[in-house]
């Protein structure tokens, strides 16, 4: 039986860096989604995951990222760049 495929968005973030190794340890297949996946090359788990370049602000990039996924972790935030910065859409 094929292991469940899990998508982790925001793969370059802190929480994802803790979650991904735990998912791999439990035997899940992991697809790590990031706008700049090359930033993950130094992670110990880099070669154990399927990398996908996508951006939630560009919905057309999400089709490939979501293909065959059973569960997705949405670990993306919209933090402002400084005080008084209006939220972006």
Every domain of the chain and the residues it spans: 5-73
* Residue 88, pLDDT score: 55
pLDDT in tens, 22-72: 999 999 999 999 999 999 999 999 999 999 999 999 999 999 999 999 999
* Residue 77, pLDDT score: 78
CATH assignment of 5-73, given 3.50.50.60, 3.40.50.720, 2.60.130.10, 1.10.150.80?
Answer: 3.40.50.720
| Residue 20 neighbours by CB under 8 Å, 6+ apart | 8, 11, 30, 32, 43, 45, 49
Where does the chain show beta strands of DSSP type E?
5-8, 29-34, 50-53, 71-73
* Residue 6, pLDDT score: 98
Q: What are phi and psi of 35, to 5 degrees?
A: -70, -30
Taking residue 22's Cβ as centre, other Cβ atoms within 10 Å add up to 10
Read off the pTM: 0.83
User: With the C-alpha atoms ordered 61, 64, 68, 69, is the resulting torsion angle positive or negative?
Assistant: negative
* Residue 15, pLDDT score: 95
Average pLDDT over residues 80-89: 56
């Amino acid at each position: 039986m094929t292991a469940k495929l899990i998508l982790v968005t925001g793969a370059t973030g802190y929480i994802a860096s803790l979650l991904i190794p735990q998912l791999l340890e439990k035997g899940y297949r992991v697809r790590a989604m990031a706008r700049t996946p090359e930033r993950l090359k130094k992670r110990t788990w880099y070669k154990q995951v399927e990398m996908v370049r996508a951006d939630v602000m560009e919905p057309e990039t999400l089709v490939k990222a979501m293909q065959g996924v059973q569960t997705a972790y949405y670990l993306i935030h919209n933090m402002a760049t400084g005080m008084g910065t209006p939220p972006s859409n």
